[in-house]
Amino acid sequence: MYFKMLKHISFAILCICAFAFAGDVVAPQGAVRNVSVDDFMPHKNSAKDFNETWSYQFVFDNGTRAFINYSTLNIPGAGNKVTCDMSFWNFKSKTYTVGRQYPPERLQPDKASGSIDINGEYKMEHKPGKGHRVYFTADKGGLFLLDVTFESAVVGKVSGNGVWKIGKESFGQYVHIPYGRVSGKIAYNEDTIAVKGYAYMDQTWQTVQAIDIAARSINFSTSAKSPLFAGRVSLSKDGEPFGYALYNDENGIKVAQPKAIKEGDSDYSGKKFAKGDMTFEWQDASIPVLKFNVAKTLQKASLLDKVDGWFAKKAFKIVTGGEVLFYRGRSEASHGKKLDWSITGVKD
């Protein structure tokens, strides 16, 4: 039972958001629209293993980065839980990570204000956009704090209801803030830093636990306002891409649904971490391909950073089929702008 619980927690926290089924991938149907408060509020579903994650990536002007995930999930033997985790990278040349877990009733959504509160210690205040505030405070292995507000934000888009069908299961994705400027403060113990920078935020849900993953998830964002590439694309076990990105041209923002992902000149299977040029091709031929190199990483983070104890680390590796890693970097992209990217998956 312990191994099963670790297996479910590990992939849900990651929000890798790619799961493997033999069925076809069917993209959402319907017109492109702005994301809404309804999209942002927790989704209800009767599936036993339904899980949902709100993810933030902050790239601050001082070189520090912060990554936050708020998740709801079902843990076998423990029931429904809310998990909150945050990582600081390059916080005065050091990396710090913290994770907490709470009963589901600690998550309190308020549709009227467009806000979500978790235990009074974690907040997503006001609907995503200008004025959206992200608050995270935790005392575990150190005192952690992030309190930032979006001073500006590009309006997020989605196609139809934002739901993909993968076999018999469903997967929802909403890019709420493809790009926005933020300011505020971050702290570790008594060391507090005022920060400014940009952030990307998306939300995903799925009707099963992501425990059968045999591929990678790639998300990317850029501080460039035009063209603007930002989104999350994942690969099923069969190498079929799903998810989407946003592209901004003279006619406005378009939703770019993936047609193919290549590593070099070959289709990328996702079975290993890519080590060279990655190229993203889109269903809409009018949207130019996105190409960037992932050979050089700024950070290789491990899910095991969140796990205490030698035995627990060994158990984690067994139930996840290996060590789950985040490869994060920044590269010059084909549109002439710097692109921040992250590839997640099991160690080669």
Residue ranges with strand state E in 189-251: 191-206, 217-221, 230-235, 241-249
CA distance 55 to 69: 5
pLDDT digits (tens, 9 = 90+) for 68-89: 989 898 766 667 889 898 999 9
Q: Which residue has the higher pLDDT, 144 or 171?
A: 144
Average pLDDT, integer, range 115-124: 97
CA distance 283 to 126: 34
Average pLDDT, integer, range 205-227: 77
Q: What is the mean pLDDT of the chain?
A: 86
Does position 126 have pLDDT exceeding 70, yes or no? yes
Sheet holding 217-221, edge to edge: 252-256, 241-249, 230-235, 217-221, 338-346, 324-332, 299-302
Q: Determine the 3-state secondary structure of 214 from DSSP.
A: coil
The pair of three-digit structure tokens given for residue 234, joined into one six-digit string: 């994942």
CA distance 172 to 324: 23
Whether the model pTM is above 0.85: yes
The pair of three-digit structure tokens given for residue 277, joined into one six-digit string: 């040029």
Does position 278 have pLDDT exceeding 60, yes or no? yes
Under 8 Å CB-to-CB from 58, ≥6 apart: which residues? 65, 66, 67, 68, 146, 148, 182, 195, 197, 198, 199
- What's residue 239's pLDDT? 84
CA distance 257 to 243: 7
Q: Which residue has the higher pLDDT, 173 or 25?
A: 173
Does position 2 have pLDDT exceeding 50, yes or no? no
Above pLDDT 70, what percent of the chain? 84
CA 173 and chain centroid, separation? 10
Q: What is the DSSP letter of 105?
A: G
pLDDT digits (tens, 9 = 90+) for 302-313: 766 655 555 545
CA dist 14 → 117, 120, 174, 190 (Å): 20, 23, 16, 28
What are the beta bridge partners of residue 330? 340
- What's residue 73's pLDDT? 83
- What's residue 76's pLDDT? 62
CB of 132 closer than 8 Å to CB of 124: yes
